[in-house]
Amino acid sequence: MALLEVEGIETYYGNIKALKGVSLTVERGEVVTLIGSNGAGKSTTLRSISGLNPPRKGSIRFDDKDITTTAPQDIVRVGISQSPEGRKCFPRMTVRENLDMGAYLRNDAEISSDMDNVFELFPRLKEREKQKAGTMSGGEQQMLAIGRALMAKPTLLLLDEPSMGIAPILVERIYETIAEINRQGMTILLVEQNANFALEVSSRGYVLQTGTVALTDTSDNLRNDPEVQKAYLGS
């Protein structure tokens, strides 16, 4: 049984149907990516999974539990955390305080070692441990947003547009770290407009178009698909 099973979800913003029956699965240990143009429903899919925009129809199962109508804080408790689009760091709080916020539901003995692991993954955060998040570059804030999500000690990590608005050299660094996080055993569902990076780090992908899954295949096959190349890979 897949770690995450999304079946036929329909999600609305008011009366506007943003998702029109999206289905997908993520196996334990995988990196799966959702690619598509602006407005395709990628971020809405993540928001539905994390409980921020619950679907009106369909179901979401995680680790064989139905979480379709579960509150966002309880979804974090069961093992899903998200690094949101636009990073959403707390600008007046320091790097360490932001990371502490990621662990706000925890009271176990491993918080300190997990913090050390985040600093190993992102040495720049260790250098800026006492710096206010709002004074850092976009790439540094993206590292912080991913680190904060990891501090919740999730089983499934949701990453929403980790390359958005970031200098190319830092995008490469962030994607190297995403691959390392996966090698350490983390399951990842990744939303990305930069399909080249997303398909490089993932094993499978789904192409979303106007709220529906238009295509799903291995990342290698998607990368070599002429239509995907034309629409999303700049070929």
* Chain segment 31-43, per-residue pLDDT in tens: 999 999 888 999 9
Distance between CA 215 and CA 235 in Å, rounded?
A: 18
| Averaged pLDDT, 50-68 | 97
Question: Under DSSP, is residue 87 helix (H, G, I), strand (E, B) or coil?
Answer: coil
Describe the crossing of helices 111-121 and 138-150 by its angle, rounded to 10 degrees. Answer: 150
- For 66, other C-beta atoms within 10 Å of its C-beta total 11
* Chain segment 162-207, per-residue pLDDT in tens: 988 888 888 888 899 999 999 999 999 999 888 889 999 999 999 9
Residue 2: is its pLDDT beyond 70? Answer: yes
Q: Is residue 129 a contact partner of residue 100, using CB atoms and an 8 Å limit?
A: no
Which percentage of the chain shows pLDDT scores above 70?
99
pLDDT at res. 160: 92
Distance between CA 173 and CA 183 in Å, rounded?
A: 15
Using CA atoms, how far residue 193 sits from 23, 113, 190, in Å, is: 19, 33, 10
How many domains does the structure of the chain reveal? 1
| Averaged pLDDT, 108-112 | 90
- For 232, other C-beta atoms within 10 Å of its C-beta total 23
Q: CA 165, 171, 176: angle at the middle one, nearest 5?
A: 155
Residue 105: is its pLDDT beyond 90? Answer: no
pLDDT at res. 146: 95
Residues spanned by the domain of 191? 4-232
Half-sphere exposure of 26 (CA within 13 A, CB side): 29
Q: Does the pTM exceed 0.75? A: yes
pLDDT class of 230 with cuts at 50, 70, 90:
confident
Q: Collect all residues with Cβ–Cβ distance below 8 Å to 121 and sequence separation of at least 6.
A: 147, 150, 177, 180, 181
pLDDT class of 234 with cuts at 50, 70, 90:
low
Distance between CA 186 and CA 183 in Å, rounded?
A: 7
| Averaged pLDDT, 85-107 | 89
Residue 235: is its pLDDT beyond 60? Answer: no
The CATH number for 169's domain is 3.40.50.300
Residue 144: is its pLDDT beyond 70? Answer: yes
